[in-house]
Structures are given as structure tokens and as C-alpha cells.
Amino acid sequence: MGGSATAVKDRVDEVKTTAHDTIDKAAEAARPTVEKLSSTAHVAVDKVSTAASQAASMMTEKAGQMKDLQDQVIADTRVRVREKPMTALAIAAGAGFILSRLLRR
């Protein structure tokens, strides 16, 4: 039995070595594909990052423009209310009445 146990151990070692060699060959063969995929993924991430940065910059710029427009509308409204306070009061009362009617429904 000692001889057959040695033969089995030798066969196991041989299969183990063959398996390791096969794994190493497969890993080596896959390396260029993995590197290409990795490179492509990096390029894609860079493009998305650039687009997101540009979108954020544009949104910041548009937000500033909207703030300026809001300030201008408020300033114009103040001037008109000071020029014609009774008209502004009548418009406000009318708008309040219409709004209350709409919200009751």
C-alpha cells in the first residue's frame, strides 16, 4: 500500500502543478484584455467627470443670473409700488382674493 499512496501523492502533485500552470497561462492571456478594459473605464470616468464639472459650472452661472434677475425684479417692484402705492395695494388685494377663491376648491 505504501507504493500506491506514493503514486497517488505524486499524481496529486502533478495535477496541482498542471492546474497552477494552466491558471498562470490563463491569467497571462487575460492580462491585455483586462488592461484594455481598465484603460477604457478610466477614459469613460474622465469624460463623465469632465461633463459633470461643466454642468456644475453652468448651473452655478445660471443660478447667479437668476439671482441677479430676482434682485432686478424686486428693485423694479419697489420703484413701482413707491410711484403708485394705491394701485399696488389694489392689485395685491385682488390677487389675494383670487388666490383665496382658487385655494378653497
Look at residue 28 and tell me whether its pLDDT is greater than 70: yes
Q: Say if CB 98 and CB 105 are below 8 A apart.
A: no
Half-sphere exposure of 21 (CA within 13 A, CB side): 6
Mean pLDDT rounded to a whole number for the chain: 91
Is the pLDDT confidence value at 88 over 80? yes
For residue 73, the SS3 value is helix
* CA dist., res. 35 & res. 21, Å (int): 21
Report the SS3 class of residue 84. coil
Average pLDDT on 48-73 reads: 95
Is pLDDT of 1 > 60? no
| C-alpha to C-alpha distance for 10 and 4, rounded to whole angstroms | 10
